[in-house]
Amino acid sequence: MSSSSRTEIAGRIQSTLVSNCVTRAMWQKHIDDCLHYHFHAAMIPPSWVRDTARALRGSGIRVASFIDLPLGTMTTNGKAYEAGKLVQDSVDEIDLMPNVGFLFSGMEKEYFNDIRGVVEAAAPVPVKIMLELPLLNQSQRERAVQLSIDAGVAYLKNASSGAVGKASAEQIRWLRQRAPQRIRIKASGGIKTAQHVRELLDAGADLVGTSAGTQIMLEIQGNQSARVDHVPDY
């Protein structure tokens, strides 16, 4: 693969470090890898946003974080407050876990307001909604997409992680077909190989989120036996 192709793929990867056991050493290795491969963004826990913004300043690599992962059950006011704090700490993008239970309950107003509150608090920082498509039936999927778009999200994301379901080209095409052109698509869940990344990008994903970004880049460079330290499957 040419260097331009490697650069293009790296520039679409949001390299993800999500764990309740992140150490300073793990964080530093993550930052070093993001700088080395020039990934699109470093996706890190909220408590590391301020340090990450300092470490990546001037690099062109975006600082991404998340709210209420993995449960989505914080209060709506709590989520909005957290969004405001992340913006103060210089986050560039926020991935949001909605309250899927509201959707299951037919509480569409509450589901909408939960998302809208974060979008308003984060503005102008873009919000990506983790739709958890594998957990939803067809009708719920349609409503989740429409309510999220109406609430002002910038990205639709198929799922939060591989624990929910592996990202598929079919899911990404389905989202792309339903989203206005202004809405971007992020793929996430069990993305471990360069071929998987290519399939998702070809299906219409603008970005891919993966904890195996370094492993994928080493694979592209020809190191087929490359391994990285174990992190959760995001």
What's the Cα-to-Cα distance from 136 to each of 103, 128, 132, rounded to whole Å? Answer: 9, 18, 7
Q: State residue 7's pLDDT score.
A: 87
Tokens of 130: 């983790």
Question: Of 79, 114, 128, 186, which residue is the catalytic one?
Answer: 186
Query: What SS3 state is found at 129?
Result: strand
Q: Which alpha helices (H) appear in 105-162, and where do they start and end? A: 108-122, 138-151
Percent of the chain with pLDDT over 70: 93
113 burial level (CB within 10 Å; 0-12, 13-18, 19+): middle
Question: Of 92, 114, 128, 157, which residue is the catalytic one?
Answer: 157
CA–CA gap between residue 60 and residue 63 (Å, rounded): 10
Q: What is the pTM of this model?
A: 0.93
What stretch of H or E contains 41? strand 41-43
Q: For the residues 203-212, what does the mean pLDDT come to?
A: 98
| Residue 188 pLDDT greater than 90, yes or no | yes
Q: For the residues 94-108, what does the mean pLDDT come to?
A: 98
Per-residue pLDDT band for 175 (boundaries 50, 70, 90) equals very high
226: in domain? no
Mean pLDDT of the chain: 94
Q: State residue 162's pLDDT score.
A: 87
What's the Cα-to-Cα distance from 122 to each of 92, 96, 102, 126, 169, rounded to whole Å? Answer: 10, 11, 22, 7, 30
18: in domain? yes
Would strands 207-210 and 184-188 be described as parallel, antiparallel, or unpaired? parallel
| Residue 18 pLDDT greater than 90, yes or no | yes
CA–CA gap between residue 204 and residue 170 (Å, rounded): 10
For 23, the domain range is 3-220
| Residue 228 pLDDT greater than 50, yes or no | no
191 burial level (CB within 10 Å; 0-12, 13-18, 19+): buried
Per-residue pLDDT band for 6 (boundaries 50, 70, 90) equals confident
- How many folded domains does the chain comprise? 1
Question: Of 68, 89, 95, 114, which residue is the catalytic one?
Answer: 95
- Cis before residue 45, ω within 30 degrees of 0? no
Residue 51 annotated among the catalytic residues of the structure: no
234: in domain? no
| Residue 12 pLDDT greater than 50, yes or no | yes
**Model pLDDT for residues 85-99, shown as the tens digit of each residue:** 999 999 999 999 999
Q: For the residues 6-31, what does the mean pLDDT come to?
A: 96
Q: State residue 227's pLDDT score.
A: 53
**Model pLDDT for residues 50-68, shown as the tens digit of each residue:** 999 999 999 999 999 999 9
Residue 29 annotated among the catalytic residues of the structure: no
Q: For the residues 138-143, what does the mean pLDDT come to?
A: 98
233: in domain? no
CATH code of 66's domain:
3.20.20.70
| Residue 233 pLDDT greater than 90, yes or no | no
228: in domain? no
66: in domain? yes
The upper half-sphere exposure of residue 17, i.e. CA atoms within 13 Å in the direction of its Cβ, equals: 28
80: in domain? yes
| Residue 124 pLDDT greater than 70, yes or no | yes
Q: State residue 232's pLDDT score.
A: 57
Residue 95 annotated among the catalytic residues of the structure: yes
229: in domain? no
